């Protein structure tokens, strides 16, 4: 069974940093693209970014709203995905989901990030 | 960026009703589209992939159709557990973009 478990959320001040992690199990993590998607309270879904697999050079893509501030990385030896979030803004407040695959087939339960003073 | 325009934004329906939700892409995306169901406090769950393929384990009352720029999610006979918010997602080009969601409520 595919499992994706996010962690690392919490309260951070504007301008601060936070690192989220996603622990994956139940599938061959190294073979999959992995994404982050977020959802602000009471709002819709917003794609954040992607990590491609080793075969595609671990390259990344980002939404314009986070480019230059967020960095997605992965550790295939630990079946884990990360997003380092810097220069956080109040509008980054959201539940962050870890999502598997090119076609977004499996989602974690999410971790809440609150950016507030 | 490809804009995904989803309609309606909300609807009220009764158990047993046929429900149709539409998603229009601002440019052609072939069949690179999925439909997702989200219940309050839960993660989205994929229902349809490739615009028309039913996810394993998803009831057959859900179906998807369309290609190019016009897509439809149909629930043939609405059940109590189907009251939720539904989203379309295009994965044809970057950035990936979602429709704004359709909230299906009890009439």
Indicate yes or no: CB of B49 within 8 angstroms of CB of A103.
Answer: yes
Note whether A105 and B53 are within 8 A (CB): no
Q: Which residues, including other chains, have CB under 8 Å from residue A78's CB and lie 6 or more apart?
A: none
Candidate from A35, A104, A109 with C-beta closest to B46 = A104
| pLDDT (tens digit per residue) in B50-79 | 999 999 999 999 999 999 999 999 999 999
Cα distances (angstroms) measured from residue B96 to each of A26, A39, A78, B2, B44: 25, 14, 27, 8, 16
State the DSSP code for B4. Answer: E
Indicate yes or no: CB of B98 within 8 angstroms of CB of A44.
Answer: yes
Q: How do the pLDDT tens digits run along chain A, 117 residues long?
A: 999 999 999 999 999 999 999 999 999 999 999 999 999 999 999 999 999 999 999 999 999 999 999 999 999 999 999 999 999 999 999 999 999 988 899 999 999 999 999
């Amino acid at each position: 069974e595919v499992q994706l478990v996010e962690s690392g959320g919490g309260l951070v001040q504007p301008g601060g940093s936070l690192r989220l992690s996603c622990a994956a199990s139940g599938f061959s993590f190294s073979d999959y693209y992995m994404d982050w998607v977020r959802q602000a309270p009471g709002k819709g879904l917003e794609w954040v970014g992607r990590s491609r697999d080793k075969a595609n050079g671990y390259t990344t893509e980002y939404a314009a709203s986070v480019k230059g501030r967020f960095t997605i990385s992965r550790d295939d030896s630990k079946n884990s995905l990360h997003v380092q979030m810097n220069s956080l803004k109040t509008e980054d407040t959201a539940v962050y989901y870890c999502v598997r695959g090119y076609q977004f087939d499996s989602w974690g339960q999410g971790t809440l990030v609150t950016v507030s003073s | 960026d490809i804009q995904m325009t989803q309609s309606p934004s909300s609807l009220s329906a009764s158990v047993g009703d046929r429900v149709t939700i539409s998603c229009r892409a601002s440019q052609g995306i072939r069949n690179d589209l999925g439909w997702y169901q989200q219940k309050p406090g839960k993660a989205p769950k994929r229902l349809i992939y490739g615009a028309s393929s039913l996810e394993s384990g998803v009831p057959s009352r859900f179906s998807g159709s369309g290609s190019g720029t016009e897509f439809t999610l149909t629930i043939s006979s609405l059940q109590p557990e189907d009251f939720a918010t539904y989203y379309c997602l295009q994965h044809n080009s970057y950035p990936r973009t979602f429709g704004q969601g359709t909230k299906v409520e009890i009439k």
